[in-house]
Structure 1
Amino acid sequence: MELSCKSEYALLALLELADRYDRGEPQQIRQIAAQQNIPDRYLEQLLATLRRCGIVRSQRGAKGGYLLAREPWKITLLEVVGCIEGLDATSSEEESALRSVETAVVRDIWQEACEASNAVLQKYTLQDLCTQRDARQQLNIMYYI
């Protein structure tokens, strides 16, 4: 399994919004794009998708932009990736009946892997990403005497 560019960019943009959540300051697309090195037009599409899913909200006007729709500790990574990727892990019973034994075995293992990855993504929130990023930044600071 691989993290798609779409999901990575969405998570990076949401990290920017999570950083400013307490201040309630909307972030403009160009600010987020410059900070995270994401193409403006692509980011615009991603934020529109996240808005439709209720993860972010937009604010119009001269000081407008995007904000998180909820607290960063209430938005799971599974919710973000599911929104961006349009994930639906269910398969129909008709489809199951038409499978060969080999296909069924492969699909069952794949389903188990998906459930495991979903459990990990459900466990972490945007706040967790911010906390882990801050911890890593502290480790990278070098003091010279």
Structure 2
Amino acid sequence: MWNDRVELSGKCEYALLALIELARGHSNGEPQQIKQLADRQNIPDRYLEQLLATLRRGGIVRSVRGARGGYLLAREPWQISMQDVVHCIDGTEMQRTEAIDQQSVTIERQILVDINVELCKAVEDVLAAYSLQDLLEIRENRASTDLMYYI
């Protein structure tokens, strides 16, 4: 049994929730304000402000100044992968490999290190496979299913 699960960090979850909201409004070209995004996804305003600043520096969103300003996606939703977001928010280091004393390296330990590398690659492949457009489409499909009435 696993003691640890492979899961997105809280920061990444919040960033992805905000980005899905930005993707929803992407086609109209209107910037969305932090307060709107935070209220829709129940994210603390100040925290979201920091995340959006990080995403802006990473080239995932852009900001528009002024009274009607806010945030927009910097690219099309299909061009932004979950991997892009995770790397921007958490960095690219997925493995938690410890410095191994070369004298203590055993065949068995090397096998486990190799499997861990394979696991990290599988996670990276899944993150790369989903774009914001994919997440938006999944969201829309689930929302329409939830609205169906059964007789």
Matches within 5 A, 1:35-114: 35-89=40-94, 98=102, 100-101=105-106, 102-114=108-120
Identify the residue that residue 32 of structure 1 maps to in structure 2. 37
Alpha-carbon distance in 2 for matches of 1:142, 1:90: 43
Amino acid at match of 1:111: V
**Shift of residue 142, structure 1, vs aligned partner:** 3.3
Alpha-carbon distance in 1 for matches of 2:70, 2:110: 47
Of 19, 25, 31 in structure 2, the residue corresponding to residue 20 of structure 1 is 25
**Shift of residue 97, structure 1, vs aligned partner:** 7.5
Work out whether residues 95 and 116 of structure 2, in 8 Å CA contact, stay in contact via their aligned partners in 1.
Answer: no
Identify the residue that residue 13 of structure 2 maps to in structure 1. 8
Work out whether residues 95 and 117 of structure 2, in 8 Å CA contact, stay in contact via their aligned partners in 1.
Answer: no
| 1:88-122 Cα distance to aligned partner (Å, 9 max, x none) | 3589xxx5783622443322111100101111111
| 1:56-101 Cα distance to aligned partner (Å, 9 max, x none) | 000110011000000000000111011111123589xxx5783622
Alpha-carbon distance in 2 for matches of 1:75, 1:96: 36
Classify the secondary structure of the residue corresponding to 1:22.
helix
Amino acid at match of 1:56: V
**Shift of residue 143, structure 1, vs aligned partner:** 2.0
Give % identity: 58
Work out whether residues 19 and 130 of structure 1, in 8 Å CA contact, stay in contact via their aligned partners in 2.
Answer: yes
Classify the secondary structure of the residue corresponding to 2:72.
strand
TM-score, L = length of structure 2: 0.86
Structure 2: where are the runs of 5+ without partners?
1-5
Amino acid at match of 1:85: D
> Please, what is the CA RMSD of the aligned residues?
2.1
Identify the residue that residue 3 of structure 2 maps to in structure 1. none
**Shift of residue 4, structure 1, vs aligned partner:** 1.3
Identify the residue that residue 117 of structure 1 maps to in structure 2. 123
Work out whether residues 96 and 104 of structure 1, in 8 Å CA contact, stay in contact via their aligned partners in 2.
Answer: no
